[in-house]
Amino acid sequence: MRGDDAELMIRFLSQEELQQIREKASKIVRDGKHGPRMAFDSIEGDVLLGRAAVRGWKGLTMNGEEFPYSPENCDLLMRKWTEFARFVFGICLDLRKFQ
């Protein structure tokens, strides 16, 4: 995956939206020692964050071919490309970068 000259369209997420994502990505897990508890699924959280924040891109390529934006392709990148997920997370929560 390459994105040397890529453009990524990202929208700002409020703290309320981020909290909703946290809640949706949390699941009840049970173990014999501590009983049921809430656990955050970080992969699901990344996918939900990408769906909420990323609005499109151009210029990303894979094996020399254009890698078009789609919600499914965004899910794939949020799951498999750690740097992409970190970038999206860092940008969508920093209102100063949108001013």
Domain ranges of the chain: 7-91
Residue spans of beta strands (DSSP E) within 7-99 = 7-10, 26-31, 35-40, 54-58, 61-62, 65-66
Confidence grade of residue 29 (pLDDT, cut at 50, 70, 90)? confident
**Mean per-residue pLDDT for 31-41?**
82
pTM here is: 0.82
Residue 47's nearest CA partner among 14, 88, 6 is 88
Q: What's the rounded Cα separation, in Å, for the pair 74 and 78?
A: 6
Q: What is the pLDDT of residue 69?
A: 97
DSSP 20: H
Confidence grade of residue 99 (pLDDT, cut at 50, 70, 90)? low
Q: What is the pLDDT of residue 86?
A: 94
